[in-house]
Amino acid sequence: MSESGLIIVYTGNGKGKTTAALGIALRAVGYDKKICMIQFIKGSWHYGEMSSSKRLEPEFEMVAIGKGFVGIIDDKSPKEEHKRIADEAIKISINKIQSGNYDIIILDEVNYAINLGLVKLEDVLNLIKSKPSTLDLVLTGNHAKDEIIEIADLVTEMKEVKHPYRQGKKAKKGIDF
């Protein structure tokens, strides 16, 4: 009898949500599990996991579809463009989930994409409900909706206690990106 898949949520305003999901991926690769991470927001910037994830292939696949963080720093894309790309990420997620090729699928920053109005909560709930019973599904991003928390098996809320940004320190390679 195969084990039931879990729905895991990493949320909250503290750092470490994507990092926790990547920790699951790293551990699972050690057991020859197949993992796909679909990034809903981070796609247009270069960050460390874009390079390091290639070292975990073929067990780990990363799909960075977003256009970067919405409405901050150097984002000049209209919100409609972000929405279009987030809808594409939902379609890719459905295809990956229904393919049967993965043991774990990570929907990185999907909670934040819902909160920003880039994707509909209903679409994500339907996606969760459509997952095969043995698939582990990880959802990251702050502002996880109560409906997602309710159906999840594991929810961890990252809480910021102290952060170097508050002291004027910039993001650091290998730590923040």
- pLDDT digit string, tens, across residues 49-76: 777 888 899 999 999 886 555 544 455 6
User: What pTM does this model have?
Assistant: 0.89
pLDDT at 79: 74
What residues pair up with 107 in beta bridges, in sequence order? 38, 139
- Is 96 a domain residue? yes
Place of tokens 């084990």: 3
8 A C-beta contact, residue 21 and residue 151: no
- Is 136 a domain residue? yes
Specify the CATH number for the domain of residue 49. Answer: 3.40.50.300
Q: Considering its fold, how many domains does the chain have in total?
A: 1
**What percent of the chain is predicted at pLDDT more than 70?**
89
- Is 174 a domain residue? no
Q: Please report, for residues 31, 66, 112, the alpha-carbon distance to residue 82 in angstroms, rounded to integers and kept in the order given.
A: 35, 7, 12
- Is 17 a domain residue? yes
pLDDT at 58: 95
pLDDT tier at 138, thresholds 50, 70, 90: very high
**What domain range is 106 assigned to?**
7-167
Neighbour-count burial of 83, counting CB atoms closer than 10 A to its CB (0-12 exposed, 13-18 middle, 19+ buried): middle
d(CA 76, CA 155): 33
pLDDT at 43: 58
pLDDT, mean of residues 115-135: 96
pLDDT, mean of residues 110-131: 95
